[in-house]
Amino acid sequence: MRLIFITLLALIIATAVGLGATWITATRGTDLGTLTIGPWTARPRTGTADVDPYSRATIARSGELPIGTGDGIAFSATTDDSKRPLDGRCDVIVSGVTPAARFWTITLYDRKGHLVANSLQRYGFTSEEIVRNSDGSFELHVASRARAGNWLPTGGIERYALMLRLYDTPVGVATRTQRDAPMPSIATAGCS
């Protein structure tokens, strides 16, 4: 009787620990092979055939298709420069320059990867659309209420993610630091 109880306990712990760890790594992702530049992270290897098992599990669970390395690279950000989570009720300013790429797009998603509804049907900007300063840098206002210049509406949702995708770019597996890839900064200006 005692033996059965102890075996059962061991098996229950094994199931809970094992599946729990899998669930956490598949939803949150791991730091395996990530490229982090400021608040932006990318996983260059997910676009190649030698993608790690944890990224494969994450991709299978979410149902997305990773962007192929010959196509481009995707950087995502869920916090600003000072590690504060991006809040749709606040004014967030994304400013600076982007790494060399033929085209880039910046898109706002909710935490599950859906676009956020707004009356303008504005879900992101492409490198062609965005209005730049005379020195080539840009300033993008991510806020719930209309702003002058480049305004990306948040729809007032609490938590969101920004994704910056570079297409036809030298940035990839070999990239290590900010010097190779100057990413724009993200700053929370104030909350309403």
Partner 1 sequence: MIRVLFAIIGGILLGGVVHLVSVLALPRIATQDAYSRLTALTTLNTVTPLPLADPSHSPMPFMDPAFAVAVCRYDLSSGSIKLTVPVSQAYTSVSFYTRRDVAYYAINDRSAGRKVIELDLMTEAQHAQLPEEEDVTAADRLIIDSPSTTGLIVLKALAAEPGMMAQAQGSLAASKCRVQTEPPAVKPSAKR
**Residue numbers at the binding site for partner 1 (CB under 8 A):** 2, 6-7, 9-19, 21-22, 25-26, 46-49, 51, 53-54, 56-57, 59-72, 74, 102-103, 105, 107, 109, 112-117, 121, 123-124, 126-129, 163, 165, 167-168
Q: Which of 67, 175, 163 is nearest to 109 (CA)?
A: 163
Nearer to partner 1, 53 or 145 (CB): 53
With respect to partner 1, which residue has the nearer C-beta, 68 or 149? 68
In Å, what is the CA distance from 106 to each residue of 85, 128, 166, 177?
18, 11, 9, 20
- Residue 114 makes CB contacts below 8 A (sequence gap 6+) with none
Distance in Å, CB of 125 to partner 1, minimum: 8
| 37 DSSP β-pair partners | 40
Distance of CA 177 to the CA centre of its chain: 17
Cβ proximity to partner 1, 3 vs 148, nearer residue: 3
* Nearest distance from C-beta of residue 35 to partner 1, angstroms: 16
Comparing CB distances to partner 1, the nearer of 81 and 168 is 168
The three-state secondary structure class of 133 is coil
Report in angstroms how near the CB of residue 86 gets to partner 1 at its nearest.
Answer: 16
- Residue found under tokens 């300033």: 139
CB 109 within 8 A of CB 116: yes
State the nearest-atom distance from the C-beta of 91 to partner 1, in Å: 22
Q: Are 45 and 33 in contact (CB under 8 A)?
A: yes
CB nearer partner 1, residue 4 or residue 146: 4
Output the smallest distance, CB 122 to partner 1, in A: 9
